[in-house]
A = this chain, B = another copy of it.
Amino acid sequence: MNTTAHPAPATSPSALHDALLARLRRVHLLGTVSGLLGWDEQVNLPADSADQRGDQMALLAELQHAAATDPETGRLLDALERQTDALDADQRVNVREARRDYDRAARLPADLVAEKARLTSAAYHAWAGAREDNNFPAFAPFLEKHLDLARREADVLGFGQKPYDYAIDKHDPGMTCELTAALFADLKTGLVPLVQRLDASPAARAAAGIEARLTGFDTAAQQTFLTEVTTAIGFNYRRGRIDVSLHPFCEGAGADIRMTTRFHEDKPLDALFSAIHETGHGLYEQGLPLPLQGTPLGQAAGMAVHESQSRLWENQVARSRAFWRHFEPRYREHFPQQLASVSPEDLYRAINSVAPTLIRVESDEVHYNLHILLRFELERRLFSQKLAVRDLPEAWRALAKELLGLTPETDREGVLQDIHWSGGAFGYFPSYCLGNMIAAQLWATVRAALPGLEDDFARGDFSRLLGWLRENIHAHGRRFTAPELVRHVTGTDLSPAPLLAYLEERYGSLYL
């Protein structure tokens, strides 16, 4: 009989690993609470309750940071790293990723973290006001401070020579500025001619007008239809839900995924495709191994991979003819009057309309990539100090003209349009375009691997696709970086070629 009141601390590799995971799960669990508070803030919070929510979020962030930087976690990692030979492959992934997270959290000085939090709050309000007033100079000092903090953060974490690499790696482990720049350059070479042909196409111009004819769609019926669609493609509403917020998003992890969309009677495709996009994110989260929740192997591989999942379902799947072969009859049952004068081909063209716009979030999937190339180029110049913050509006206008063929008349339609920089979220934009590339690359691979896949869609069956994604993407958690995962799954390096081929196939056949 063991009569020791306090057992000796665990020292076997397996016991140390278990102790590490217990700590990681605790940090994660606090994160899920913060996530729920954030979701509730966007979905439910009464108008005058924001201060209290801010206090709650700050306290949770403090507790989460304390848990993430607990020196005992560092000691466990040290001990585990001394005996990695005794660990299996999964355990080594957990130690590697836990070390990455721990070092990044623990090395950051508390005053830098606090300063960034304060700045983010102030910069958000400054940005919102500057956008409203079309007054970039009012926002510029906040952006300069954010850039300065981002450089300091990169320096502390060992990226002093390549601060923008840190910004990118933070969202997409394994990606660098150089790699991203090479991919984007190749993409641009292929994309610009396609865009020029589409922009010059009378058929594409005509299609862009069709969407405006979709009006008077009752929002309750919209909601019913999009619930049918998102259920059919595989979202498990017993472990998640969809609500309404100003900007659509997907929040949560593991057993509780909260998605949102927004409804306008005269823009029915907006709510539907937003919901399908968020469902792609939700399917990824729901597909991560639930028993490993809160540990690296139960977490997403990065923002680009996350975005690839949402884009694949939104674009490759839900904008396809096969998808609408199944859903169009249902859609017309819900909206017989509204669609009476819209032919099947016109509906399909409305779903796949292509036209340049100055606003990223309103952009179609072809032009969208150019919006990202613009932002990436500007971030790169800012970080390499080839561009000063005060010269941003002018540089934005020049690049918008070059890439989109449009010049913003105001900074509201230009440099002030996005929220990201007000939060210091540099290096985040590239994920969107990398996600588009990965989605197309996965799409080419899965179509070859699963013949007749689109016939499944036409029957309303998405289970083979989802199963393939679960097995090939979701099941890996953070085992691979995005470039590694793409190579592992597709057998080729991350490349813009499949995206270009996909866009050419879909939009060339429609409009060129």
Contacts and interface: CB of A to CB of B under 8 A. Distances in A.
A245 to B, nearest CB: 13
A256 B36 contact: no
Interface string A221-237: 00000000000000011
Contact of A29 (B32, B45, B55, B293): B55
B48 A30 contact: no
Contact of A46 (B52, B241, B293): B241
Given A46-B238, A239-B46, A239-B49, A56 B33 contact: yes
A117 interface: no
A47 B29 CA distance: 19
A114 interface: no
A77 interface: no
Given A33-B56, A55-B29, A56-B32, A48 B241 contact: no
A52 B256 contact: yes
B238 A45 contact: no
Contact of A52 (B51, B237, B254): B254
Contacts of A241: 44, 46
Given A37-B36, A40-B36, A255 B30 contact: no
B33 A33 contact: yes
A255 B48 contact: yes
Nearest to A32: B56
A256 B256 CA distance: 23
Contacts of A53: 256
Interface string A119-153: 00000000000000000000000000000000000
B37 A255 contact: no
A59 B26 contact: yes
Contacts of A55: 29
A60 interface: yes
A240 interface: yes
Contacts of A387: none
A44 B30 CA distance: 19
A292 interface: no
A53 B32 CA distance: 10
Contacts of A237: 46
Interface string A242-265: 000000000000111000000000
A311 B471 CA distance: 57
Interface in A38-81: 40, 44-49, 51-53, 55-56, 59-60, 63
Nearest to A30: B59
A33 to B, nearest CB: 5
Nearest to A58: B29
Interface in A82-98: none
B52 A33 contact: no
Contacts of A48: 236, 238-239, 255
A236 B32 CA distance: 29
A455 B22 CA distance: 63
Given A51-B255, A255-B49, A56 B29 contact: yes
Given A46-B255, A48-B238, A63-B63, 13 more contacts: A29-B55, A29-B56, A29-B59, A32-B56, A33-B59, A33-B60, A36-B56, A44-B241, A46-B238, A49-B239, A49-B240, A49-B255, A52-B293
6 A-B pairs with least C-beta separation = A49-B256, A52-B255, A48-B238, A47-B238, A49-B255, A48-B239
Interface of A: 26, 29-30, 32-33, 36-37, 40, 44-49, 51-53, 55-56, 59-60, 63, 236-241, 254-256, 293
6 contacts: A26-B59, A32-B52, A33-B33, A36-B40, A48-B236, A63-B63
